[in-house]
Amino acid sequence: MTETSLPTRDEIAPEYTWNAPSVFSSPKDWESEFDDVAKSLPSLKELQGHLSDGPSTLADALDVFDQLARRVGIVIFYAGMSHYVDTTDQGAVERFSKAQGLYGQTLAAMAFLDPELLSIGEETLSDWVQSEPRLAIYEHYISNLFRKQAHVRSAEVEELLGMLKDPFLGTTATARMLTDSDLFFEPATAQDGSHVPVSPVTLEKILACPDREARRTAWENYADAHLTFKNTLASNLITSIKQNVFEMRARRHTSTLEAALFNENIPADVFHNLIDTFRKNIPTWHRYWAIRRKALGVDTLHTYDIWAPLTGERSRITYERAVELVCDGLSPLGEDYVAVMRNGCLFDRWVDVFPNQGKSAGAFSYGAPGTYPFIMMSCNNDIYSLSTLAHELGHSMHSYLTWKHQPTVYCQYSLFLAEVASNFHQAMVRAHLLEREDDPNLHVQVIEEAMDNLHRYFFIMPMLARFELETHQRIERGEGLNAEAMIEIMADLISEGYGSEMHLDRQRDGIMWATFSHLFRDYYVYQYATGISGAHALANRILVGEVNAASDYLDFLKTGSSDYPLEILKRAGVDLTTPQAVEETFDVLAKMVDKLEKLVG
């Protein structure tokens, strides 16, 4: 490998950067809108105590809330996106910090809404919903509010909890700044003696290269940098867990798991079904490790071998070609759907495409009603970048259609649903490539990518969910927790998943929890596994030609949060209250292992 360096932000061609001017023409315009929004917050106090004056007054007040929420959402998005694409931009850092403060202030200013609605009473509000047309859209919101009534506190307590949002976000911000900006990673050393820069945005590419020495040194140096700060990283995550426990108790739940699942009306059985099904299917992973070890021709498989290519030269897939392949794979959803995606990627600049110095690791879809559903990624012109683009476009099309068809109150769809749309896209595109492309080498690459994705969703994420449950329960019980204990918990879980076919480096494997900022979103990671389960079930309906499968899926995307997530999925054709969809997706995993074994001999 030859030594390479990341370009600076200003060296990236504008057509490959997100369309920031479509949101605000300049940071100065953002500052002006920020100031206007901040100045408008005190005026909400004028509404306090008057929501019960009558249905027309309540409808007027909710209109004010909706308009303010849209403005705040755009202000926060612009600051966040600017920061994530270049964490070294100090102006963006300042705007991001201000936006986080505004978020907390807004929650505090709006905190009286739910307590006042509860004080009006469910029967009265139901009558108002029937008599005032502008309130009709709030029927589900109000019904859900009374379902949650026991956990909504007084206006004063809700205001205080809202004010805590800003300082509580500090743990997430600290983790991101430390891992994305301040950690120093020793460069990897390739077999030819050259050095390759290691960073959160380059690691994935190095681990997917054929040079085993580069993979080994990159993975070890990346883990070692986190181990150097293991106590700081642990203290920060423990603080976040304690914040979760505090809020759980403040809202009078019995556990953090119950509290996290309660808002979306999801029974704990959904979480435990996933964990139980995962543990039952661990032998399938052991078989995959054995096939991969033999295919690579190594005596012992290490963690840094998980992403190593099983073929020779990997196909080069440019960003533009990736866009066309994604559009081809999603063609069963109709010309309109495909046209929106193609225009977003190639003309409207939804996507911040390539890596640069200071860019946050990973990829995500982000936006707000009133903006495009933007995407941040780091394209490497390969099958993995193609899959990442498909994944994030699933999120973006979910957002696009939700924002188009739902009012503000329902335009933030559940995290439980989010990973369904993204993985649906990937499943459809893989099926298209395996059916239309004849190159066996490409087939291996498609299956490798699928296995890597399943590894993330059906291996790493269930383990992180188990780690999260264990660490939360320890804090809930008042037990101590520190960096070494967290490393040991993680290492034990990974050891079970690796079995006898994989080497375990207890310290370097055990620090994995520190590399996932997802853990700062309470009980988020398990939803990756339930999401991919729903995705494969919905994609299969279309691939086998079920009547109305495509229209059912489009209706799912348009629904937003206007109903409970489990009910939305049931209408689309999948029931996640049982383990069936999870079992079916593990069957997909097993069949991928079978296909790979035949292809690589």
Q: Give the phi and the psi of residue 210 in degrees, each rounded to 5.
A: -75, -10
Distance CA 51, CA 38 (A): 22
Contact 531, 479 (CB under 8 A): no
Report the candidate in 415, 496, 430 with the shortest Cα–Cα distance to residue 459: 496
Strand, coil or helix: 24: coil
Residue 351 is inside which H or E element, if any? strand 351-352
Contact 354, 378 (CB under 8 A): yes
Residues 6 or more apart in contact with residue 482 via CB below 8 angstroms? 231, 234, 238
Residues 6 or more apart in contact with residue 89 via CB below 8 angstroms? 9, 82, 83, 358
As given in the structure block, the two tokens for residue 309 are: 């290519």
Contact 67, 75 (CB under 8 A): no
Neighbours of 58 (CB within 10 A): 24
Residues 6 or more apart in contact with residue 410 via CB below 8 angstroms? 137, 140, 141, 402, 560, 561, 562
Burial class from Cβ neighbours inside 10 Å (0-12, 13-18, 19+) for residue 254 reads exposed
Relative to beta strand 374-376, strand 364-366 is antiparallel
Active centre residues (catalytic): 392
